[in-house]
Amino acid sequence: MKIVCIGGGPAGLYFALLMKQLNPAHDITVVERNKPYDTFGWGVVFSDATMDNMRAWDGPTADTIQEAFNHWDDIELHFKDRVIRSGGHGFVGIGRKKLLNILQSRCEDLGVKLVFEAEVDSDLDFPDADLVIASDGINSRVRTRYADVFQPDIVVRPNRYIWLGTNKLYDAFTFLFERTEHGWFQAHVYKFDANTTTFIVECPEEVWLAHGLDQADQEQSIAFCEQLFAKNLQGAKLMTNARHLRGSAWLNFQRVVCGHWWLKNEHGSHVVLMGDAVHTAHFAIGSGTKLAIEDAIELTRQFKQLGDEPARIPEVLAAYQEARRVETLRIQNAAWNAMEWFEVCGKRYCDQLPPEQFMYSMLTRSQRISHENLRLRDKGWLEGYEKWFAQQAGVATVGAPPPPMFTPYTLRSVRLKNRIVVSPMAQYSAPDGLVGDYHLVHLGARAMGGAGLVMAEMTCVSPEGRITPSCPGLWTDAQGAAWKRVVDWVHAQSDAKIGLQIGHAGPKGSSCEPWTGGGMDQPLPAGNWPLLAASAQPYLPDGQVPRAMTRADMDQVREQFVAAVRRGADAGFDWLELHCAHGYLLSSFISPLTNRRTDDYGGSLENRLRYPLEIFRAVRQAWPAHLPISVRISAHDWVEGGITPSDAVEIARAFKAAGADMIDCSSGQVHPDQKPTYGRMYQTPFADRIRQEAGIATIAVGAISEADHANSILAAGRADLCAVARPHLANPAWTLSEAAKIGYTPMAWPRQYVSGKSQMEANFVREKAAAAAAPAKA
């Protein structure tokens, strides 16, 4: 085959040498615009796994690279006059020039033709090529030429960065943070050979502009960075090798994703994208070169498996795209999280988190590294951190500290024994709004299951405020007494606290129980009651139309909330949550999708919050001052034009100003057109952002299904409590089981159940040992 690689970066060179090695009969040329020893950039980092992969495909190249590598294990943070270091992170670094020279020399040894200082105009410059590899980097001309086929999705990110070097040597992957009068800068620093260190400086666009760096040339930018990091550099100079760039040399990262990776051009040659031309990964997780190298390996593997003659090319390219697309998206997602962390850290974390927690947050920024991963990497550091966390929670630790989820949490006079909440879950099992034996057993079992707080389901303030005919209420004294029986049992038989979630279904009322109506939110076929909402807009397009509330309705419903809350206080609940989420009455005021009013209660967010805040204040007055109130909100409507996470910060600020203690950060269920992005812990970013930006405690909820999730969230300060819903339906003792699973044996079990504790713990120990032994046997 005749193969031409446009671009002699890691992707083009490595693919050329692998294919030549696979079959020396191939005629392979790499065309590069630069000279062999001319390149931008400094060092790049790899993981040990990438090296193993390379060794399997070409031993000599891997060995030469290995010799040139700098290996280091530690990450060091320099932040607010503190230096914090943790180990076990395992990176290797190499100079970009060195890497390219090794690949170039191996290409020459194998007989690949290298053409330097040649600018390629397009793939059509090579009419007799069977295969053209578009390895022409992030600004790929070939990709642009066929944009209609490749469908590139390019997102330009807001931060600015400059890729510098220095001869000061660092013995850890080092992160430096410096505050200026206009905001925070950070530097990502790693040594890549005996004399040189990469030094990437990054900051948000507005900070960059405020310092006039858009007007600065390279020398002035370097002088600025030297002064900014003078304390750390101690006289060492910063250097650039990006003289080919015009202007300031401060770049914006561009995230590239392509819908399609290959085509056949008008000469009949197949053209395929590789490396940065088809996908980019932010340097915050340092994997762009790894992706380029792994693309080259995968395409070679497909040729090896399916046949390396021209007739097989379409099949090979299809298989290559299929194999690489999913893997690169996975890495790009992790890189995206890490990149976003560095974009927002100045505003969200630097001034909010203490240095210890800042370090933890930084280490877990990609959300690929969890609490238990950190323990595997550096047990000593993690235990030290757990100790610090426990001390902040007021626990005097002598022996091993408790994991974060098992530290207590105090709000007003209420002390939760741990940070797990049974999230409110409607059970549709309270005829006439009366809870009975069902709730005694259901909530009682969960109170015995180990969680610190058991939040009862949405309890309605009036018959019209019910979701279904079987939802519990607090509009009569008999209902209050029925709740008191449940609350008293929980208090007598467990050390869990029990919370009341109070709400009004608004436009989503008069619905069937999910098992009678064929799903959620289906209107009752008969026996409907009149509905109230912010506006006369049904939840489902063909649903029952509610009445837009008049001022008189507002007064009446406010008094219903107050009366219900008083009954809740009399019943002895420890905690109150006001339900302002999920499209119910108060939520229908907050979201612009459901509030179409033109009076003082519609329009601006301030107006839309007016009635929910009126209810909150009335409820706060009626609820005992020593007991906390949380507010559940939908922090994202997941619909264009609806509530966004930045609106949610404003909503949280408003409730905080009105006296709320905590925001319970749910999302969605406000509009049937919602398109949520589900995934592990998918709503936690809202809890995190609200906690840091609005300065109020938060509950994270949504797909938190393991102790490792909860510990990672709490330890990073992304929330103060974790609510767990569906896992508690399957297992009322979820918290006790998770404690046993992670080996936290000091967990107290109900005295009647104690003989199950050691058995469960021993079973988990055995399972773990068997899992650890399994690969060794295989």
Ligand X SMILES: Cc1cc2nc3c(=O)[nH]c(=O)nc-3n(C[C@H](O)[C@H](O)[C@H](O)COP(=O)(O)OP(=O)(O)OC[C@H]3O[C@@H](n4cnc5c(N)ncnc54)[C@H](O)[C@@H]3O)c2cc1C
Among 33, 347, 558, 757, binds ligand X (CB under 6 A): 33
CA dist., res. 329 & res. 249, Å (int): 28
Which residue, 401 or 507, has its beta carbon nearer to ligand FMN?
Answer: 507
Strands 173-180 and 91-95: unpaired
Helix or strand run (H / E) with residue 336: helix 313-348
CA distance to 28, 63, 168, 302, 321, per residue, from 279 (Å): 24, 27, 32, 19, 12
Burial 175-198 (b: 16+ CB within 10 A, else e): bbbbeeebbbbbbbbbbbbeebbb
Q: Least distance in Å: CB of 668 to ligand FMN?
A: 10
First to last CA, the chain: 40
- Judge contact between 690 and 649, C-beta under 8 A: yes
User: Is 584 assigned a catalytic role?
Assistant: yes
- Mark residues 579-618: x for contact with ligand FMN by CB under 6 A, - for none: x-x-------------------------------------
Which structure tokens are listed for 603? 């329009």
Angle ∠(437,443,445) on CA atoms, nearest 5: 95
- Judge contact between 50 and 294, C-beta under 8 A: yes
Strands 497-503 and 183-191: unpaired
Query: Judged by CB under 6 A, which stretch of 170-178, 369-377, 600-608, 696-704 contacts ligand FMN?
Result: 696-704
Residues 97-116 that bind ligand FMN (CB under 6 A): none
Integer-rounded Cα Rg, in Å, for the chain is 30
CA dist., res. 442 & res. 445, Å (int): 5
Query: Judged by CB under 6 A, which stretch of 286-294, 433-441, 448-456, 465-473 contacts ligand X?
Result: 286-294
Residue type, 562: V
Residues 708-727 that bind ligand FMN (CB under 6 A): 724-726
Residue 732 within binding range of ligand X, rule CB under 6 A: no
Residue 10 within binding range of ligand X, rule CB under 6 A: yes
From the candidates 584, 601, 744, 753, give the one annotated as an active-site residue: 584
CA dist., res. 258 & res. 291, Å (int): 14
CA distance to 227, 246, 272, per residue, from 234 (Å): 10, 29, 47
- Judge contact between 328 and 291, C-beta under 8 A: yes
Among 1, 3, 4, 11, binds ligand X (CB under 6 A): 11
Q: Considering CB distances under 5 to 8 angstroms, the limit depending on partner class, which of ligand FMN, ligand X, none binds residue 726?
A: ligand FMN
Residue 65 within binding range of ligand X, rule CB under 6 A: no
- Judge contact between 151 and 321, C-beta under 8 A: no
Q: Considering CB distances under 5 to 8 angstroms, the limit depending on partner class, which of ligand FMN, ligand X, none binds residue 119?
A: ligand X
Residues 523-582 that bind ligand FMN (CB under 6 A): 579, 581
Residues 423-442 that bind ligand FMN (CB under 6 A): 423-426
Residue 501 within binding range of ligand FMN, rule CB under 6 A: yes
CA dist., res. 79 & res. 355, Å (int): 7
Among 104, 197, 240, 287, binds ligand X (CB under 6 A): 287
Among 289, 370, 510, 630, binds ligand X (CB under 6 A): 289
3-class state of residue 449 by DSSP = coil
Question: With contacts defined by CB under 6 A, how many residues of the chain interact with ligand X?
Answer: 33
CA dist., res. 46 & res. 289, Å (int): 8
Which residue, 282 or 439, has its beta carbon nearer to ligand X?
Answer: 282
Which residue, 274 or 740, has its beta carbon nearer to ligand X?
Answer: 274
3-class state of residue 136 by DSSP = coil
Q: Considering CB distances under 5 to 8 angstroms, the limit depending on partner class, which of ligand X, ligand FMN, none binds residue 292?
A: ligand X
Q: Least distance in Å: CB of 350 to ligand X?
A: 21
Which residue, 321 or 684, has its beta carbon nearer to ligand FMN?
Answer: 684
Question: With contacts defined by CB under 6 A, how many residues of the chain interact with ligand FMN?
Answer: 18
- Mark residues 649-678: x for contact with ligand FMN by CB under 6 A, - for none: -----------------x------------
Q: Least distance in Å: CB of 456 to ligand FMN?
A: 8
CA dist., res. 36 & res. 101, Å (int): 7
CA dist., res. 692 & res. 520, Å (int): 34
Catalytic positions: 584
Q: Binding residues for ligand FMN, per CB under 6 A? A: 423-426, 457-458, 501, 579, 581, 632, 666, 701-704, 724-726
Where does this chain bind ligand X (CB under 6 A)?
A: 6-12, 31-34, 41, 44-45, 119-120, 135-137, 141, 161, 163, 200, 275-277, 283, 286-290, 292
